[in-house]
Amino acid sequence: MTFDDAFRSFRDRFSFPELKPLDLKLPVDRLRREFLRIDYSAEPDAPELADVRLMIIRGAAGPIKARLYVPLGAGVPPGPGILFFHGGGFVLGDLDSHDMLCRRLAEGSRCRVLAVDYRLAPEHCFPCAHDDALAAWAWLQEHGSAKAGIDPARCAVAGDSAGGNLAAYLCQQMVRARGPKPAFQLLLYPLLQFADIRSKKMSPQESGFFISANLFEFFRRHYLPDLTCAMDPRMSPLFAPLEELKALPPAHIIVCGWDPLHDEGLAYGAKLRGLGVQASEREYTSMVHGFLNLTPFSSTARQAAREAGEITGKALGAL
């Protein structure tokens, strides 16, 4: 199947409704029910894992759910691992929406993956998701070895889109707080600034699928009611002070050609390299934002997810 065929197939199964710029009354529950509910049952080469189990970990305001993925060949615990944050604009997404991506990351890296079900807006606005990300990292430092089989000293953080924002922020915050830093960061078409998307010149492909200007505004208005916080380094890690970027862990960034977040991902990688931080990028020129969730329709997406895992596994010494 070509990418165009795969894209049309996915588009026919799932599409966001048209959003007016400030249409905050659209039922979020309906969007959540429709978001990335894909049937993976017939997916070719779906990974076989040693174990997948639900866990309860400590969040910033109480217990939150997490899911642990243990790949075949992970070795005797504790071993290297990946702390994963899903995308969805801080409004959508959960453990199920990104289940297959986590399975493929675990398989490719041979590392245990712990996916976190952080709190979402509009029920929980900024900085709740960011606070949960830090709480999950703190939990992993304290309990990761015994309860998840993950060595905290050999743990990467990863995330796609808004989850990439959380992963990048977590790394920066550990530099600011002089806390235990992740060993690596895997940023999948990350949302690195929440200041503006409308000023960007977007092609019809970029502006019409998955993260249009109106949808960006919808997410931002739900998670960030006070827009004066848009330049806060928690929301816009791309614009963090340079001195807070110099000691960041190595990074690998995936960007897509059909994605309005394309340029900021490349800019972040260039900024890190300019400060002496090891950073690499992989650009998928014909892919759209969110393509790593298109694995039932695209062999490119399946291979990209596996390769992202392999890069992370090599960085952590698992491969």
Distances (CA, A) of 7 to 53, 154, 278: 31, 36, 33
Structural domain total, the chain: 1
Do 194 and 162 touch, CB atoms closer than 8 A? no
Residue 48 pLDDT more than 90? yes
Q: What is the pLDDT of residue 264?
A: 94
CATH number at residue 142: 3.40.50.1820
pLDDT band at 20 (very low <50, low <70, confident <90, very high): low
Given pLDDT bands bounded at 50, 70 and 90, which one contains residue 247?
very high
Of 182, 189, 128, which is closest to residue 157 (Cα–Cα)?
182
* pLDDT > 70 fraction of the chain, expressed in percent and rounded: 87
| pLDDT tens readout for residues 259-291 | 889 999 999 999 999 999 999 999 999 888 899
- Which is the catalytic residue, given 86, 97, 160, 161? 161
Tell me: pLDDT of 13 over 90.
Answer: no
SS3 call for 69:
strand
Domain span including residue 287: 3-315
User: Sorting pLDDT into bands at 50, 70 and 90, what band is 39?
Assistant: confident
Report the SS3 class of residue 35. Answer: coil
Residue-level pLDDT at 195 = 83
259 tagged catalytic: yes
From the candidates 124, 130, 262, 289, which is the catalytic residue? Answer: 289
State the pLDDT confidence band at 5, using cuts at 50, 70 and 90.
low
Interatomic CA distance for residues 299 and 297, integer angstroms: 7
Alpha-helical runs (H) found in the chain: 3-13, 28-34, 99-109, 128-143, 162-177, 204-208, 213-223, 262-274, 299-315
The one catalytic residue among 97, 130, 259, 298: 259
pLDDT band at 117 (very low <50, low <70, confident <90, very high): very high
The pairs formed by 238-241 with CB atoms below 8 angstroms and a separation of 24 or more are 238/192, 238/193, 238/264, 238/267, 238/268, 238/271, 239/193, 239/195, 240/172
Confidence check: pLDDT of 17 > 80: no
For residues 40 and 63, which has the higher predicted lDDT (pLDDT)?
63
Write down the pLDDT at residue 208. Answer: 41
C-beta neighbour count of 193 within 10 angstroms: 19
Q: What is the mean predicted confidence (pLDDT) over 240-261?
A: 94
Determine the Cα–Cα distance for residues 250 and 12; give it in Å rounded to an integer.
Answer: 38
Is 167 within 8 Å of 85 (Cβ atoms)?
yes
